[in-house]
Structure 1
Amino acid sequence: MTDNESPLLALVSQRARGRVPHDFWHDVPKVANPHPKPIQLIGGLPNYQFFPIKGADVQLRDAPFYNTTADTFRSVDVSSDSARIDIKAALQYSEVGGLEPLLEQIRGFVKRVVRPKLQSWEVQCTLGGADGIAKTFDVLVDPGDTVLFEEFTFVPVLGSLVERGGIAVPVRLSAVTEFDYGNELETLLENWTTLKPGLPKPKALYTIPNGHNPLGLAQTIEHKKRVIALAEKHNFAIIEDEPYSYLNFDKYGDPATSYSLSNDEFIASLNPSYTTLDTSGRVVRVETFSKIFAPGMRLGFVVADKALMPFYSGSAAVLTRSPNGYSQMFLNNTILQLGGVEGWIHWITKVRNEYLQRKNVYVGALLSSPAYTKGYLSPIDPSCGMFVSVVINVDKHPRFSGANVHELMELFYVKAVEAGVLVVLGRNMSVDKQLSEPRSNFVRTAISFVDTHDVLREAVNRLSEAAVRLFEDE
């Protein structure tokens, strides 16, 4: 590896490295004097006038949960504005990495907001966050390779790893109320052959560092620096999954909380990305538009050293082809209509404000609940995201033995359903249920889907009722 070469190039999977394009338009004779205006009869691209849609009108909200229309715009079949995506481009076959106008918007956003330290970064569109993660596993993971995970995580991504023959290895957290596992990670890596005999050293660490799912917490900058140093020492990639980082919160009751942040103030409030610390190209950042635009758009992007982009293109060519062009058109042209990158940041701030209000209403209600007053439950005040996890203090239960956390949490789940509230058991978000059982005495609750703050307050009433019944109905 040369001094300027990304260390991840040596970690690229044999699958991705061995791919060769299969097409029918490159293996042709070289022509010395080609016609300056050839007629294109190669590709089976339908002329755009075969498309039944000639234009699309969009009405924009002024803010989340406001029914007033802030603005309207029309996407036309052929546009003279190169920054806009028109129907002609949106509904046509296109490059697997995304349409260039949207890629330019994303580059501008990453430069303004994420601010990677590496100079040679590039972006590529994906079909959402899950697709970005799956392609990253495809690019990096060979059968038998190991990938580190926080012991509690967004477990559906494990399917993408298993599909590629990878092996998940959980890293124990020091506590679910803290998001620090530096000591545990270092101990695991330094004693790998003893603790994980027969397994190869890890290819990557998958992390949700800012707005962890399910815990909602963010890693400190000191923790991230320590993880980066361990990645350099032990030569593994860091896959930074960032669906929630822009839904950034102050702590409940913080007198400095503001709902009128400028763009600069909002950016300064964000928890820093691992890419701000990465000087060698070891970090892959995976983003999605699902939380700040809409999940049905199925759009996201990856940020990584540009040397990796051909492998992502190869993965897309085999697995998915191009992201949905109509979605790219709506997203790109909406950002333009909002005023470009700065207008888009302002919209994200509005989304963050609504989530922050919801979080404070919900956490405040939990802290005022009978179950909290009696010591039966404790909310984890999240740093970012759509979730508030609630610790059920089963160690105070009269039947607690130290070995029956799972039994008591299942009993709480039953009582919660009977009380009329649906939650996610923490155990079901663990990589290894047996390893994590002693720390799985919590439930994940989502504050994103309900219509009003009053519904969140009623949900707390029902959670509190379930907890009181768990402890007092014996």
Structure 2
Amino acid sequence: MGFLDPVESAKVPAFAHEHLIAKRIRNRTHSQFWQSIDPPPGVKYHEKPISLVGGMPNHGFFPVTKLDVHLASRPFAFDSGSIATVPGQTTNESELDLQTALQYANSEGQPQLLNVAKSFVKRVVKPALDDWDVSMTLGGADGIGKCFNTLLNPGDSVLFEEFTFNPILNGCREYGGTPVPIKLSKVLADGTLGRMDYADELEDMLSNWSKRYPKLGKPKALYTIPNGHNPLGVALSLDQKKRIYALAEKYDFFIIEDEPYAYLNFSPASEKANYELTNDEFIASLHPSYTTLDKSGRVARVETFSKIFAPGSRLGYVTAHPQFIRYIMTCNDILTRAPSGLSQAVVNNTIVRLGGLEGWIHWITLVRNEYLRRKNAMIKAFQETDAFKKGYISPIDPSCGMFISLKINLPEERKTETISLMEKYFVKCRVEGVISVLGGNMAVDKEYSKERANFVRIAICYPEDASVLVEAANRFGRAAVDLFEEL
């Protein structure tokens, strides 16, 4: 599927938010060098012409004839429980073969993997729109960048949670967007169970926008990591999402929902963990998506295979209104073309070998279980440290994701020194032998957020097992004791 072909566009349901689409997108035209000419009256074309149009090499030129992918039965079980095959050719409609995967392809992705993604979204995410669509991307960052490309004109304002995965700010600025931070005052002020509540702060911002930001136009979009926030690890409640979506409707901005961590969903460390969830129980435990509230088409949900399959696959997808997806596909056509055919074949055929959709959901549950074990082990280890018992630190028990935020409870009278004191804590952690990310380094505006930057982000994903995280918690604790003894 190429650019906005008039015949194809006529099949797309009406989109109520064309005014939010960037001018560059609406001005794009489709250029092609091949054509089809209708036969003149009385002329009949050959029924089986020899087509020499496409510059596609015959599959006989491909040096690979078959791939065997040895699969683990569960995370950290390097036992090659079964083999997923990518054959040279196949008659199995759910599989991708090398003849197809190694060839040029449509920019929205191979039909087999698109069907997997659509089935997954229907089964797990459950969008409220009567009609929605999916386009494959080259991972989450690529999907977000294409959303920015689709929405932003130079000078447009974009709302961000004040702490965020701030490399994504570069994608916003690339298309002329101006990031504006939303204060997260409640997240770090509510003990060890963080709250991702900011609807009040956002409503106050929007109702006073022209006074606070006289040089900026009203926001075009909100970029949010609502479930398993990076860096904070917390999730927005459904009530908060409803309020924020209502604000989007009232103040007319688009929502870009970045969801790399939503399926790594946790129960609190204080509760007995359930590692035997059925697929239905797992799905019911997940935090609802903004797409479950969206009936007007102002939400794009960006997903990735990086956290539940592998980052090197460079695969993800965007779910949104069909017309928005067609705009995303124009970005694909111009910027990247189709995602890697080999990656799509390996991921798709692995899912087929795991048992299709239900087997894939089960695998994701197993991945979630391992992260839950790690998270609980580290939270409990923090709670055993002298630093925790003395009130120097508060680990925020994450709702989902790969990160634990450790709050350093600096004295109120030293709040103005937060950045320098946190840098001092970072040095003491290095002396103890543990490294993390300073919260201030993940701020949209470090000066704006400096007094709320009294935390570090701890990644629980790379160590080989939970014992490493337990030792790390002890080191973080000793560094905190050392810091407070000098205050």
State how far apart, in whole Å, the 2-side matches of 1:106 and 1:127 are. Answer: 14
Residue correspondence of structure 1 range 268-287 to structure 2 within 5 A: 268-287=284-303
Asked whether the 8 Å contact 2:74–2:366 carries over to 1, the reply is: yes
**Which residue of structure 2 aligns with residue 404 of structure 1?**
417
Per-residue deviation, 1:106? 0.6
Give the corresponding residue for 2:460: 447
Give, in whole Å, the separation in 1 of the partners of 2:47 and 2:184: 64
Is contact 1:182–1:226 with CA below 8 Å preserved after alignment?
yes
In the alignment, structure 1 residue 98 sits paired with structure 2 residue 131: no
Question: How far has the Cα of 1:242 moved from its partner?
Answer: 0.2
Kept after mapping to 2: 8 A contact 1:6/1:282: no
- Displacement of 1:193 after TM fit? 0.6
**Displacement after TM superposition at 1:174 (Å):** 2.6
Q: What displacement does 1:473 show?
A: 4.0
Aligned-partner Cα distance in 2 for 1:401–1:79: 67
Distance 1:451 1:473 in 2: 34
Residue 182 of structure 1 deviates from its aligned partner by: 0.7
Q: How does 1:280-299 map to 2 (within 5 A)?
A: 280-299=296-315
The runs of at least 4 consecutive aligned structure 1 residues that moved more than 4 Å come to none
Partner Cα distance (1:60, 1:34) in 2: 50
Task: Pick from 159, 174, 179 the counterpart of residue 148 of structure 1.
Answer: 159
> C-alpha distance in 2, partners of 1:143/1:309?
22
CA shift in 2, pair 1:198/1:83, >3 Å = same
Matched, 1:464 2:477: yes
Distance (Å, rounded) in 2 between the aligned partners of 1:138 and 1:360: 39
Aligned mate of 2:29, from 20, 41, 45 = 20
- Are 1:198 and 2:220 an aligned pair? no
1:401 aligned counterpart, secondary structure: helix
TM-score by length of 2: 0.94
Query: 2:63 aligns to what?
Result: 52
Map 1:378-457 → 2, pairs under 5 A: 378-395=394-411, 400-457=413-470
Q: What's the offset of the Cα at 1:309?
A: 2.0
Q: CA deviation at 1:215?
A: 0.5
Question: Any conservation in 2 of the 1:103–1:123 contact (CA below 8 Å)?
Answer: yes
1:29 aligns with 37
- 1:326 is matched with 342
Counterpart for residue 144 of structure 2: 133
Asked if residue 218 in structure 1 is aligned to residue 227 in structure 2, the reply is: no
1:110 maps to a residue whose letter is: V
Secondary structure in 1 matching 2:270 = coil
Please tell me whether the aligned partners of residues 123 and 304 of structure 1 are also in contact (alpha carbons under 8 angstroms).
yes
Q: Using the alignment, how far apart are the partners of 2:26 and 2:52 within structure 1? A: 32
3-state SS of paired residue (2:155): coil
For residues 363 and 395 of structure 2, what CA distance do their matches in structure 1 show?
29
> CA shift at 1:308, angstroms?
1.4
1:372 equivalent to 2:388? Answer yes
Which amino acid is the alignment partner of residue 39 of structure 1? Answer: I
Residue number in structure 2 paired with 1:74: 85
- Matched AA of 1:321: R
Q: Do the aligned residues in 1 keep the contact of 2:398 with 2:404 (CA within 8 Å)?
A: yes
Measure how far apart 1:7 and its partner are: 2.8
Two-structure CA RMSD over aligned residues (Å)? 1.1
Q: 1:6 Cα shift?
A: 2.6
- Cα displacement (A) at 1:394: 1.3
Q: Which residue number corresponds to residue 227 of structure 1? A: 244
Q: Is contact 2:437-2:458 (8 Å) kept?
A: yes
Counterpart mapping for 1:232-247 below 5 A: 232-247=249-264
SS at match of 1:43: coil
Does the CA contact (< 8 Å) of 1:211 and 1:217 recur in 2? yes
1:309 aligns with 2:325: yes
Q: How far does residue 69 in structure 1 lie from its aligned partner after superposition?
A: 2.1
Is the CA contact 2:396–2:404 (under 8 Å) kept in the aligned structure 1?
yes
Which of the residues 229, 250, 261 maps onto 2:277? Answer: 261
- Name the SS of the counterpart of 1:342 in structure 2: helix
Query: Aligned letter for 2:100?
Result: A
Q: Which amino acid aligns with 2:99?
A: K
**Hey, what's the Cα distance between the residues in 2 that align with 1:104 and 1:409?**
47
Deviation for aligned residue 1:469: 1.0
Rounded Cα–Cα distance in structure 1 between residues aligned with 2:198 and 2:380:
28
- Partner residue in 1 for 2:206: 189
Q: What's the secondary structure of 2:81's corresponding residue?
A: strand
Separation (CA, whole Å) in 2 of partners of 1:220 and 1:38: 60
Shift of residue 59, structure 1, vs aligned partner: 0.8
Could you tell me which runs of 5 or more consecutive residues in structure 1 were left unpaired when the two chains were aligned. Answer: none
> Equivalents in 2 of 1:359, 1:87: separation in Å?
40
Greater Cα offset, 293-302 or 400-409: 400-409
Q: Secondary structure at the match of 1:7?
A: coil
- Matching residue of 1:65: 76
Q: What is the aligned-residue identity percentage? A: 52
User: What's the CA shift for 1:290?
Assistant: 0.2
CA distance in 1, matches of 2:402, 2:379: 12
Task: After superposition, give the CA deviation of every residue in 1:354-401 in whole Å (9 maximum; x if it has no partner).
Answer: 0000000010001111111111111000000000000011127xxx53
What does residue 121 of structure 2 align with? Answer: 110
Amino acid in the other structure paired with 1:445: I
Deviation, structure 1 residue 418: 1.2
1:252 alignment counterpart: 269
Which residue of the partner structure matches residue 8 of structure 1?
A: 17
In the alignment, the residues of structure 1 paired with residue 228 and residue 270 of structure 2 have an alpha-carbon distance, to the nearest angstrom, of 19
- Look up the SS of the partner of 1:203 in the other structure: strand
Q: What does the per-residue CA deviation read over 1:242-265, in whole Å, with 9 as the maximum and x for residues that have no partner? A: 00000000001213x310000000
CA-to-aligned-CA distance 1:4-38 (integer Å, 9 cap, x gap): 73333221100111111222114x53236332222
Partner of 2:191: none
Shift of 1:410: 0.5
Separation in structure 1 between the aligned mates of residue 350 and residue 423 of structure 2, nearest angstrom: 45
The answer for the alignment partner of 2:3 in structure 1 is none
Work out the number of aligned pairs and report it: 466
Which residue is equivalent to 1:42?
53
Runs of at least 5 residues in structure 2 that lack an aligned partner in the other structure:
1-12, 188-193
User: SS of 1:391's equivalent?
Assistant: strand
